[in-house]
């Protein structure tokens, strides 16, 4: 088994001291822009601990908007929340990158801070086009997935709502027939998932609509 000699160890230590990383502030800025770390290329949504609360509010807003029912709808709504969150983070990263580019060395000083910043951006953006373009590609992918997922959710909910409406119509007829016969009836007896309260609300809305349409026909 080979061992490293004392002379070799000393030589390695001496060589390591020759490269200690960027020293000037300008060089440090350039190095910091060379590697933009993110998790945007994959399907997973990475949420740092300090953003968990903000993401939870974001997710709950999506649940309130789409009111999912069942595991499949819940999954699709969660996917929409994650995709939109990732797209927003990509935009924020691109904005931050462009801001950092503007802090690099400008071709010349103009005496105006805003103009100098814009000149620095224009002069240095070419060095970071790869990162900027990649971020744009990642955002486009997320938005395409968002639109596809939203379409799937909309179709699924339309089918579900149509089935619920049909179920309520049939359940309302049975419920009214049971009342007329002075019989006690529960929806689950016939395999309905809706509740008696939901059936009663459906009957009330239907009767209210009939009274309006009936009144309009009489007026004509």
- Give one word for 67, left, alpha or beta, with left for phi > 0 and alpha for psi -120 to 50: left
How far CA 157 is from CA of 71, 164, 165, in Å, comes to: 12, 10, 12
User: Is residue 9 in a domain?
Assistant: no
User: Is residue 22 in a domain?
Assistant: no
The larger pLDDT score, comparing residue 109 to residue 146, is at 146
Q: Which of 26-30, 49-53, 58-62, 214-218 has the highest mean pLDDT?
A: 58-62
Q: Which of 8-22, 60-74, 162-176, 177-191 has the highest mean pLDDT?
A: 60-74
With tokens 């998932």, the residue in question is 193
Neighbours of 82 (CB within 10 A): 23
User: Is residue 14 in a domain?
Assistant: no
pLDDT one-digit tens code per residue, 130-162? 777 788 888 999 999 999 999 999 999 999 999
User: Is residue 34 in a domain?
Assistant: no
pLDDT value of residue 159: 96
User: Is residue 39 in a domain?
Assistant: no
Q: What does the pLDDT average to over 40-50?
A: 71
pLDDT value of residue 36: 39
User: Is residue 36 in a domain?
Assistant: no
Cα distance between residue 97 and residue 131, in whole Å: 9
In this predicted structure, the answer to whether residue 123 has a pLDDT above a threshold of 60 is no
CB 69 within 8 A of CB 160: yes
CB 62 within 8 A of CB 80: yes
User: Is residue 177 in a domain?
Assistant: yes
In this predicted structure, the answer to whether residue 201 has a pLDDT above a threshold of 70 is yes
The number of angstroms, rounded, from the C-alpha of 127 to the middle of its chain's C-alpha atoms is 30
- 148: which 2 tokens? 């596809």
DSSP 188: G
Q: What does the pLDDT average to over 119-133?
A: 62
In this predicted structure, the answer to whether residue 175 has a pLDDT above a threshold of 60 is yes
Q: What does the pLDDT average to over 115-134?
A: 62
CB 98 within 8 A of CB 131: no
pLDDT value of residue 18: 44
Q: Range of 141's domain? A: 49-219
In this predicted structure, the answer to whether residue 208 has a pLDDT above a threshold of 50 is yes
User: Is residue 215 in a domain?
Assistant: yes
CB 33 within 8 A of CB 120: no
Question: In total, how many domains does the chain have?
Answer: 1
């Amino acid at each position: 088994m080979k061992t490293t000699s004392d002379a070799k160890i000393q030589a390695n230590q001496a060589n390591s001291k020759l490269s200690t990383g960027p020293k000037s502030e300008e060089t440090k800025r350039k190095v910091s822009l060379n590697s933009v770390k993110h998790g945007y290329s994959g399907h997973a949504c990475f949420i740092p601990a300090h953003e968990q609360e903000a993401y939870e509010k974001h997710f709950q807003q999506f649940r309130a908007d789409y009111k999912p029912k069942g595991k499949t709808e819940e999954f699709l709504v969660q996917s929409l929340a994650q995709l939109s969150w990732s797209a927003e983070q990509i935009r924020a990263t691109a904005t931050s990158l462009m801001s950092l580019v503007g802090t690099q060395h400008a071709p010349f000083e103009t005496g105006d801070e805003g103009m100098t910043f814009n000149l620095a951006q224009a002069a240095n953006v070419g060095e970071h086009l790869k990162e900027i373009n990649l971020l744009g590609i990642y955002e486009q992918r997320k938005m395409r997935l968002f639109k596809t997922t939203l379409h799937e959710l909309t179709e699924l909910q339309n089918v579900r709502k149509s089935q619920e409406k049909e179920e309520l119509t049939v359940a309302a007829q049975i419920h009214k027939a049971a009342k007329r016969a002075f019989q006690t009836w529960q929806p689950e007896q016939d395999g309905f998932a809706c509740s008696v309260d939901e059936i009663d609300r459906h009957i009330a809305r239907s009767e209210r609509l009939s009274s309006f349409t009936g009144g309009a026909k009489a007026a004509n």
